[in-house]
A and B are shown apart, each in its own frame.
Chain A
Amino acid sequence: MAGYPIRGGVHPDERKLTREITIMRVPTPRRLYLPLKQHIGAPAKPCRVPGEIIHKGALLARSQGNVSAHIHAPCSGHVEDIVHWPAPHPSGLPTKVMVVVNDGKEICEDVSVPVNPFYLRPEVIAERVGLSGIVGLGGATFPAAVKLTLGQSHKTPILIINGCECEPYLTCDDRLMQERTHDVLDGVRILSQALAGPETIIAIEANKPDAIRLMEEAASHYGNIRVMAVPTRYPMGSEKQLIEFVTGRQVPVGKLSADIGVMLHNIATAYAVNRAVREGKPLTSRIVTVSGGAVQRPGNYEVPVGMLISDLLEFCGLKEEPARLIMGGPMMGQAIPHARIPVTKGCNGVLAMSAAEVARRVEHPCIRCASCVDACPIGLSPLTMSAFLKNDKLDAAVDIGLRDCILCGSCSFACPSGIPLAHYFNYGKGELISRAQQQQKDDEIKRLIQDRQVRMERLEKEREEAMARRKAEIAARKAAQAEKEKAAEGGADKAAEAEKAVA
């Protein structure tokens, strides 16, 4: 069915090498490395000490603050240590990681499950989702329970389930919809129940005909759920673009989709919600597409969270030394410096690119062809913004919409001169964040200086007062002494007089 037209977008080569390969479970390795921050928001706080015996599904780290998520054990065994380990991040800088040793016994934690999840009240569903540590599995990793609560507090008449998977190479959502159709649909129904039954649209890109057919069949029994085939165009799976295509509404700058009454969840999130609410199983594994020219057996694998990418690639086999490793899709994913990095909840793909696939393009001068303007899904002018950023005119770039850029990389893809436009915008956005942080620190330091000055003045005044008081006391004591002496003298005189009188 037709949606509302959206602008921009590109058509990268699909390269869905793993489209036909069924999901396979990867055996849990000996050691798992679970980062305490696998989501947007505050890192989880460890609630186990090194050496503690744990069961599969046990809570390892508790969410803290408003936006955060629990982390659970993907295997039974014991906690070895909490160490600093390279984070799943392009810099590869260390982050706090809980190391869990797998004993291979797979002893599960006892769970209580509801008789029928569709009898649960919306708040209870959100609570159960939160207790299972579910985050947005499309890659944004926003805690799902927080999002559901947000949707419950706003009026949310539309729920969109995102099965677009517009990134090249990735097929994990496609396979999930084909192989576990009913589980996914149950998850969609539970999510819809949690939002008090909104109109639910499952959006799937037209290049996945099998998934569309299966999901349509399964959804045909439920009145408020329908499947919508959306055109194959990158970045259709981006939140704002999909909402605009499906509903015709734009999310205003600086607002959330909940503010315009729309909620968006990923297919994989729906699947995880089903497992959490129906079976009481926390999020400890996810489907990951392992692909790329350097991989011997590419496919979709169910991987325990915390497994090192090097272990995963060893399991899948490597044909050659990968020229580049990417976590996520090739367009918006992050290049990682080495493979000793764990798979996290938000990692939907691991791509080991062969040297032939990453032909490095040489940068040429901009010829002002405006291909990037045509490709930009937001309607920005990437060539102007990058020219401003190149000359350190950050404010000018912000004025023409740097903050609205979603870093989809369509402009870099479309550029015939090979200018790294998305890199410029990453840099510009980073500078904006640094600036805000610096401003915050400056304000804080000014406050500290003023507080200290006020305190110093108060202490000075108090000291003076104390001194004055002591002086007064001494004076009073002296006066009293003098009085006494006088009295004593007076007494002596009287006594003498009395003696005289007696005599």
Chain B
Amino acid sequence: MIEGIFTLTILGLSLGLFLGLAARYLKVGADPIVEDISAMLPGSNCGQCGFAGCGQAAEAVANGSATLDLCPPGGKSLIESLAKRLGVDWDFSNTTASVPTVAYVQEATCIGCARCFKACPTDAIVGAPKQIHAVINSACNGCRLCVDVCPTECLQMVEVQTTLENWRWHKPQPAMQQTPLAQAA
């Protein structure tokens, strides 16, 4: 019986050692693309893309089951950097231009319930219980998490105002419209 116990112990130890070493040296790392993509995504886990969080969204983008324009807070610059990382061409002409938005508190209906600033992942809402809250525009990425928790619907998403700081020249529109020959005839 002693021999049996001895054999099995040796067997167990050596196999355990082998598995342990294999786990260390033959490790298959996580897909580096997924890591890169999750570093590009905002990380606020707002769920507007339909996934539970930015990690799942990154996996979906990496295996091709989601399109590049899935993230509204990321905007155009995110699409560009994703397209560059994945080495694909993205045609902006068929993307519906999503206007960047920020949250806005309507003072008249805010009851100071303090739910929104607990929900805000970027600490963009300031306030205290029973005081009117306010949004710091520069810290808001438009994730809409606060809109869902507001009991009085006083939190709304508004378009970012065009000011002298963010005004840009529009793209020149070609003046001549070439009518296709078939239509002209």
B178 to nearest A CB, angstroms? 9
Are A420 and B42 touching (Cβ within 8 A)? no
Are A363 and B123 touching (Cβ within 8 A)? no
B92 to nearest A CB, angstroms? 5
- Check A220 for interface membership: any CB of B closer than 8 A: no
Are A445 and B166 touching (Cβ within 8 A)? no
> What residues on B are CB-neighbors of A424 within 8 Å?
171-172
> What residues on A are CB-neighbors of B74 within 8 Å?
442
Are B168 and A448 touching (Cβ within 8 A)? no
Partner of B167, one of A91, A431, A446: A91
Once bound together, how far apart are the Cα atoms of A437 and B76, in whole Å? 12
- Check A481 for interface membership: any CB of B closer than 8 A: no
Are A441 and B164 touching (Cβ within 8 A)? no
Q: Write the A410-443 contact mask toward B (1 if CB under 8 angstroms, else 0).
A: 0000000000100110110111011101110110
B184 to nearest A CB, angstroms? 17
Are B139 and A445 touching (Cβ within 8 A)? yes
Once bound together, how far apart are the Cα atoms of A446 and B176, in whole Å? 44
- Check B43 for interface membership: any CB of A closer than 8 A: yes
- Check B88 for interface membership: any CB of A closer than 8 A: no
A433 and B168 in contact, given A363-B176, A392-B92, A448-B139 (Cβ under 8 angstroms) = yes
Q: Write the A350-372 contact mask toward B (1 if CB under 8 angstroms, else 0).
A: 00000000000011100000000
- Chain B interfacial residues counted at CB < 8 A: 31
A93 and B167 in contact, given A420-B172, A445-B139, A452-B122 (Cβ under 8 angstroms) = yes
Are B44 and A445 touching (Cβ within 8 A)? yes
> What residues on A are CB-neighbors of B44 within 8 Å?
445, 449
A366-424 contacts to B, CB under 8 A, are 389, 392, 394-395, 420, 423-424
> What residues on A are CB-neighbors of B43 within 8 Å?
446, 449-450
Partner of B169, one of A95, A364, A426, A438: A426
A297 to nearest B CB, angstroms? 33
Partner of B175, one of A363, A426, A435: A363
> What residues on B are CB-neighbors of A438 within 8 Å?
75-77
In the complex formed, the residue of A with least CB distance to B139 is A448
- Check A201 for interface membership: any CB of B closer than 8 A: no
B168 to nearest A CB, angstroms? 3
> What residues on B are CB-neighbors of A437 within 8 Å?
166
Candidate in B122, B123, B172, B176 with the most chain A CB atoms within 10 angstroms: B172
Are A446 and B42 touching (Cβ within 8 A)? yes
> What residues on B are CB-neighbors of A427 within 8 Å?
168-172
> What residues on B are CB-neighbors of A395 within 8 Å?
84
A418 to nearest B CB, angstroms? 9
A449 and B42 in contact, given A95-B164, A444-B138 (Cβ under 8 angstroms) = yes
> What residues on B are CB-neighbors of A442 within 8 Å?
42, 74, 77-78, 141
Give the interface SS of chain B, mostly helix, strand, loop or mixed. Answer: loop
Once bound together, how far apart are the Cα atoms of A420 and B172, in whole Å? 7
B180 to nearest A CB, angstroms? 16
Tier of interface size on chain A: 35 or more
Are A449 and B122 touching (Cβ within 8 A)? yes
> What residues on B are CB-neighbors of A389 within 8 Å?
171
In the complex formed, the residue of B with least CB distance to A418 is B175
- Check A451 for interface membership: any CB of B closer than 8 A: yes
A426 to nearest B CB, angstroms? 4
Are B168 and A430 touching (Cβ within 8 A)? yes
Are B42 and A423 touching (Cβ within 8 A)? no
A405 to nearest B CB, angstroms? 13
In the complex formed, the residue of A with least CB distance to B122 is A448
Are B172 and A452 touching (Cβ within 8 A)? no
In the complex formed, the residue of A with least CB distance to B93 is A392
> What residues on A are CB-neighbors of B76 within 8 Å?
438
> What residues on B are CB-neighbors of A16 within 8 Å?
none
Once bound together, how far apart are the Cα atoms of A437 and B138, in whole Å? 11
- Check A129 for interface membership: any CB of B closer than 8 A: no
> What residues on B are CB-neighbors of A439 within 8 Å?
77
A445 and B174 in contact, given A426-B169, A431-B168 (Cβ under 8 angstroms) = no
A113 to nearest B CB, angstroms? 37
Once bound together, how far apart are the Cα atoms of A47 and B33, in whole Å? 54
- Check B55 for interface membership: any CB of A closer than 8 A: no
B71-101 contacts to A, CB under 8 A, are 74-78, 80, 84, 92
Once bound together, how far apart are the Cα atoms of A95 and B167, in whole Å? 12
Candidate in A429, A433, A437, A449 with the most chain B CB atoms within 10 angstroms: A449
- Check B150 for interface membership: any CB of A closer than 8 A: no
Once bound together, how far apart are the Cα atoms of A87 and B163, in whole Å? 11
Once bound together, how far apart are the Cα atoms of A120 and B142, in whole Å? 55
A93 and B164 in contact, given A438-B77, A446-B43 (Cβ under 8 angstroms) = yes
Q: Write the B130-149 contact mask toward A (1 if CB under 8 angstroms, else 0).
A: 00000000110100000000
B5 to nearest A CB, angstroms? 44
Are B42 and A445 touching (Cβ within 8 A)? yes
Once bound together, how far apart are the Cα atoms of A250 and B44, in whole Å? 46
- Check A45 for interface membership: any CB of B closer than 8 A: no
- Check B162 for interface membership: any CB of A closer than 8 A: yes
Once bound together, how far apart are the Cα atoms of A434 and B175, in whole Å? 25
A-B contact pairs, 12 of them (CB 8 A): A91-B164, A91-B167, A93-B162, A362-B175, A363-B174, A424-B171, A424-B172, A429-B169, A438-B75, A448-B124, A449-B43, A451-B123
13 further A-B contacts with Cβ under 8 Å, apart from A427-B171, A439-B77, are: A89-B167, A91-B162, A93-B163, A395-B84, A429-B169, A434-B168, A435-B80, A438-B77, A442-B77, A442-B78, A445-B139, A448-B123, A449-B44
Nearest 6 CB-CB pairings of A with B? A430-B168, A448-B122, A426-B169, A438-B77, A427-B169, A423-B172
State the B residues within 8 Å of A (CB).
42-44, 74-78, 80, 84, 92, 121-124, 138-139, 141, 162-164, 166-172, 174-176
